[in-house]
Structure 1
Amino acid sequence: MRTGFLLLNACFLLFINCKDGKPSSEQNAEESANTQQVITAKTIEGFKYTDYVLSSRGENAVADWDKYQELAIQVNYLKKADLSFFNGDKALLKGFIDTLKLKTPSILRSNPVISRTAIIETSILRLNENLTLDNIDNQLKLESVKEVLVAFANLNYQINKKLERDFYEKIKSEY
């Protein structure tokens, strides 16, 4: 009776300790798939979004807006997979964004442009959080990079749209 009980316990322990997961080849394939989606310039080039650039009027309007110029440079670095600016200290990023919003030229102070700068702030801070945390999936990091690129393109679009609207409002009808 006692040997039967010991034999039953040994079988039970054997079943508990048996590996119940996937075969090691499937686990290695999953791990390599996660490491393949690293943030590179090629993966960033593969993003599908509409990238707006500033018109000549837009470039003239932001010529003296230093923080915009710096943001444009950093976004170009981001397109080349240089994440150093966005991976930095959160307090520095927050100060940069606050200065960007405060130094907005008066000609561009409209609700659409202000809302786009708020969206850029949100997307940059989200990207910073996703890059600084170790347990964030690479796919989520890539989505955050795309959000920053889309937010910056939409800011350019709103600046162009605002300046074009202002230009056509100045034109008076001859009739």
Structure 2
Amino acid sequence: MKQGILILNVFLLILCACDGPNETSANENLEQQEVQESLKITEKSIEEFQFTDYVLSSDGEKAVSNWEKYQELAIQISYLKKADLSFFNGESNLITEFIEEFKSNVPEDLETNPIVSRVVVLETAMYRLNANLTLDNIEDEEKLMSVKAVLVAFSNLNNQINKKLERDIYDRITVE
């Protein structure tokens, strides 16, 4: 009888000592999955970016109305905000060709140092996004930051265009 109790106690001790699935490891796995999901490039994750999104004023719209590559880029940026990465995920030579045409077709009245520098920043952000999207070993968080960099660069370009046009109006008022 003592031997049966001893065997039962040893069996219960072994059973309790075994590390079976517990709540903390299950919770940790669930949290890791939620973090993974939040880092994926989705429309929701892009909407959560914290930055000032400048749009062109009505004068700005008129100034870029004949700049075809700007119009095309604005469309691609709107797609990017919806997590459509197809344009930026393409071959790098297509991005290079697009950027060269974009830079060479800047309207004369918008070719100022601040605007040209914003175009260069946008160019760099687009190249970085393309590289991060096409390489397999880049983490999703880095890809998201590259998407944000392109959106911020485009927004800042719009802001510089607006500022330039406002200065032009102010200069006309002070001259008259």
TM value normalised by structure 2:
0.81
Work out which of the residue numbers 63, 66, 74 in structure 1 matches 2:65: 63
Q: Identical aligned pairs, as a percentage?
A: 58
Q: Using a 3 Å threshold, how does the CA distance of structure 1 residues 71 and 173 change in structure 2: closer, same or farther?
A: closer
Work out which of the residue numbers 161, 164, 170 in structure 1 matches 2:163: 161
Q: Does the 8 Å CA contact 2:90/2:130 hold for their aligned counterparts?
A: yes
Residue in 2 aligned with 1:95?
A: 97
Partners of 2:70 and 2:106 lie apart in 1 by: 8
* C-alpha displacement of 1:43: 0.5
Residue in 1 aligned with 2:77?
A: 75
Partners of 1:31 and 1:125 lie apart in 2 by: 30
Query: Aligned ranges for residues 5-24 of structure 1 at < 5 Å?
Result: none
* C-alpha displacement of 1:118: 0.3
Query: Aligned ranges for residues 91-170 of structure 1 at < 5 Å?
Result: 91-170=93-172
* C-alpha displacement of 1:34: 3.0
* C-alpha displacement of 1:31: 5.5
| Consecutive unaligned residues in structure 2, runs of 5 or more | 1-23
Partners of 1:101 and 1:149 lie apart in 2 by: 18
Q: Alignment length, in residue pairs? A: 152
Q: Does 1:41 align with 2:47?
A: no
* C-alpha displacement of 1:170: 1.1
TM value normalised by structure 1:
0.81
RMSD: 1.8
CA deviations on 1:2-57 (whole Å, 9 max, x unpaired) are: xxxxxxxxxxxxxxxxxxxxx97588457623354110000100000000000011
